[in-house]
């Protein structure tokens, strides 16, 4: 009998029976692959069969040690769907897979992974999809294999509802998602040797390339009525969060600054705390304070961030929400709107999973420090890293494809890209410039390009395509690497070496460090000035 090798997971939730089929769904390929690899144990004595459009991902993950060991022992049989099969109907592909694996002898107790993305099933009707699922279930029962049907893609939620209806065919359904930089397992239903359980969740953390269940799963959260707390109607806010002279209603109290408000937090249970962010606010410190309050005071405490100067960027917003903040406000000039928005969250508890630590979240921001031009292969791999970091932080990201006009030398438009933000990278292959914009929403793409490309894009590029879904971004990178594998792609790094505006400079200039305690960063010294003597003519 197989089982999931995840420390802390309940024995019934680990269990994978022979002659059974299970469905594992996730929005991204790596989510479903990484979880499936935990079904392979180091001492696995049974054969493993893998069918996937991207079978290499099973062997290249940081979780692939067990499967690589089994492969060396000739226990793994991988099958990759060729490019020709992309034109076949899903029904034909399905029959071919069952026929191919069924030709092997001694299938009993073998572990079988069938990995599709939702695009492959998109042309099939609902009735046809149900028949495909039933065919795999019958195949598992007939041969005695343990079959995991892995499905990933942007439309996976639709198939989740569909497979719920097939609970007589499938023995279990798991949805793997990422929330607040934490992997979450959602068991819709699960058959095991002692019965069936349904609607359970487990929050996972990562340690030594191995998933383990965090203490206090999502299901352990107790639900109370917020009205049981005497301070539920109390609102504490920093003075600068509202205009000077604003008359506040009853139960509203003020604090001098964010630090004073933070000190009052541990004494409260269900009150609302409104922090203010100006251009002088240390966002990292405020994020750590919000996380500490959320951890120590529980989920009924309301944490609100009032953006006074409009200096919170998209990635900062996502970091605050990941670290336990309920709401981020911008209506500084309208106190009445601030009051109504605060009222809208009173009586509710914070429901998102919390990461294990602030450092666990911040490590994803460190992955986005590279910027500017990159050689093409390095570019595709870096974009996957940036995209994965964006998913963990809940940040948007876009991949822009700019096709050059005929007879345009590629080096000229490349010189015109002046990248200033960490995480923004670009490269070129076959007269197409690939530009990844980290922490950028799809509707902000044109404005972002205007800031980093000095001339009109229409003067150099014939068309512009934008990919905004992280699943499609990662799929595009994998396909590009396969397409250009073994081919010569020109590297423009040396030609662009003088265009050093994209290089990351972690150091702080002397002029700034000399006056960090002043409201504005100024320096009266002029190191480049040369004094000279002036004399009047007689």
pLDDT in tens, 381-417: 999 989 988 888 888 899 999 999 988 899 999 999 9
pLDDT, one tens digit per residue, over 414-439 is 999 988 888 899 999 999 999 999 98
Residue range 4-24: average pLDDT?
92
Estimate to the nearest angstrom the gap between the alpha carbon of 525 and the chain centroid: 45
Count Cβ neighbours within 10 Å for each residue of 387-414 and write b for 16 or more, e otherwise. bbbbbbbbbbbbbbebebeeeeebeebb
For 420-452, b/e burial (b = at least 16 CB within 10 A) is ebbbbbbbbbeebbbbbbbbbeeeebeebbeeb
> What is the reported pLDDT for 237?
93
Q: Is the pLDDT of residue 24 over 90?
A: yes
pLDDT at 462 over 80: yes
Whether residue 538 is predicted with pLDDT greater than 70 in this model: the reply is no
Burial of 221-241, coded b for 16+ CB within 10 Å and e otherwise, reads eeeeeeeebebbbbbbbbebb
- The answer on pLDDT for 228 being more than 80 is no
Reply yes or no on whether the pLDDT at 85 is more than 80. Answer: no
Strand partners, 424: none
- Placement of tokens 């999973």 in the chain: 353
pLDDT of residue 361: 85
Residue 339 is encoded by which pair of tokens? 């009051």
528 falls in which pLDDT band (50, 70, 90)? low
More confident residue, 238 or 532: 238
| pTM, to two decimals | 0.74
Q: Render pLDDT for 125-150 as a digit per residue (tens, 0 to 9).
A: 888 988 999 999 999 999 999 999 99
Residue 328 sits at φ, ψ, to 5 deg, of -120, 125
Q: Is residue 151 very low, low, confident or very high in pLDDT (cuts 50, 70, 90)? A: very high
Q: How far is CA 148 from CA 13, 35, 140, 174, 280, in A?
A: 14, 11, 10, 10, 52
The more confidently predicted of residues 26 and 371 is 26
What's 517's DSSP letter? T
What would the mean pLDDT of 353-373 be, rounded to a whole number?
Answer: 82
Confidence (pLDDT) at 206: 82
Model confidence at 375: pLDDT above 50: yes
User: What are the φ and ψ backbone dihedral angles of 528, each rounded to 5 degrees?
Assistant: -90, -5
Would you state the pLDDT for residue 185? 93
Q: What is the widest separation between alpha-carbon atoms in the chain? A: 114
Query: In the predicted model, what is the mean pLDDT of the chain?
Result: 86
- Residue found by looking up tokens 């994803």 in the block: 364
- Residue count (the chain): 538
Residue 522 token pair = 């100024």
Do the bridges between strand 372-373 and strand 182-192 make them parallel or antiparallel, or are there none, so unpaired?
A: unpaired
Residue 514 CA to residue 520 CA, distance in Å, equals 11
* Secondary structure letter of residue 439 according to DSSP: T
Where is average pLDDT lowest: 368-372, 381-385, 444-448?
368-372
pLDDT score recorded for residue 16: 92
Q: What's the average model confidence in pLDDT over 318-347?
A: 86
Other CB atoms within a 10 A radius of the CB of residue 90 amount to: 17
Q: Which residues contact 216 (CB under 8 A, 6 or more apart)?
A: 203
Average pLDDT (511-535) is 56
Residue 328: per-residue pLDDT: 92
The DSSP annotation for 309-369 comes to SS---HHHHHHHHHTT--EEE--TT-HHHHHHHHHHHTT----S---S-HHHHHHHHHTT-
Average the pLDDT over each of 303-317, 465-479, 517-531 and give the range with the smallest value.
517-531
Within 15-125, residue ranges assigned H as helices are 29-37, 57-60, 65-72, 90-102, 118-121
């Amino acid at each position: 009998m197989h089982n999931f090798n995840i420390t802390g997971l309940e024995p019934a939730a680990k269990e994978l029976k022979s002659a059974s089929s299970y469905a594992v769904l996730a929005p991204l390929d790596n989510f479903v692959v990484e979880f499936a690899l935990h079904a392979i144990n180091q001492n696995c004595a049974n054969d493993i069969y893998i069918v996937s459009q991207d079978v290499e991902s099973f062997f290249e993950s940081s979780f692939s040690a067990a499967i690589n060991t089994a492969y060396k022992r000739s226990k793994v049989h991988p099958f990759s769907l060729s490019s020709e099969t992309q034109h076949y109907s899903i029904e034909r592909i399905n029959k071919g897979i069952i026929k191919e694996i069924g030709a092997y002898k001694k299938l009993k107790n073998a572990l079988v992974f069938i990995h599709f993305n939702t695009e492959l099933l998109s042309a099939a009707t609902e009735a046809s999809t149900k028949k495909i699922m039933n065919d795999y279930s019958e195949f598992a029962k007939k041969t005695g294999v343990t079959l995991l049907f892995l499905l990933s893609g942007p439309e996976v939620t639709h198939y989740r509802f569909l497979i719920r209806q097939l609970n007589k065919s499938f023995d279990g359904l798991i949805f793997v998602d990422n929330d607040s930089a934490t992997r979450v397992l959602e068991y819709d239903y699960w058959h095991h040797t002692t019965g069936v359980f349904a609607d359970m969740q487990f929050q996972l953390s990562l340690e030594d390339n191995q998933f383990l269940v965090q203490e206090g799963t999502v299901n352990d959260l107790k639900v109370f009525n917020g009205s049981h707390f005497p301070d539920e109607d109390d609102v504490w806010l920093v003075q600068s969060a509202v205009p000077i002279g604003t008359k506040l209603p009853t139960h509203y109290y003020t604090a001098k600054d964010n630090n004073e408000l933070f000190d009052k937090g541990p004494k409260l249970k269900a009150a609302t705390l409104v922090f203010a962010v100006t251009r002088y606010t240390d966002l990292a410190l405020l994020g750590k304070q919000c996380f500490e309050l959320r951890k120590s005071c529980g989920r009924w405490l309301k944490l609100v961030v009032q953006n006074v100067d409009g200096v919170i960027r998209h990635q900062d917003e996502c970091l605050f929400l990941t670290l336990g903040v309920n709401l981020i406000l911008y209506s500084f000039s309208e106190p009445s709107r601030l009051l109504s928005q605060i009222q809208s969250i009173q009586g509710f508890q914070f429901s998102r999973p919390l990461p294990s630590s602030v450092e666990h979240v911040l490590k994803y921001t460190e992955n986005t420090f590279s910027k500017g031009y990159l050689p093409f292969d390095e570019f595709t791999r870096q974009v996957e890293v940036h995209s994965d970091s964006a998913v963990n932080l809940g940040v948007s990201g876009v991949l822009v494809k700019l096709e050059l006009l005929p007879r345009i030398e590629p080096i000229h438009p490349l010189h015109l890209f002046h990248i200033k933000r960490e995480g923004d990278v670009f490269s070129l292959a076959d007269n197409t410039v690939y530009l990844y914009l980290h922490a950028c929403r799809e509707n902000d793409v044109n404005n972002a390009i205007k800031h980093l490309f000095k001339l009109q894009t229409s003067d150099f590029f014939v068309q512009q395509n934008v990919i905004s879904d992280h699943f499609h971004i990662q799929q595009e990178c994998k396909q590009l690497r396969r397409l250009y594998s073994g081919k010569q792609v020109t590297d423009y790094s040396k030609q662009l070496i003088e265009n050093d505006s994209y290089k990351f400079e972690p150091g702080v200039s002397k002029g700034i460090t000399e006056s960090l305690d002043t409201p504005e960063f100024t320096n009266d010294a002029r190191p480049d000035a040369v004094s000279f003597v002036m004399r009047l003519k007689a």
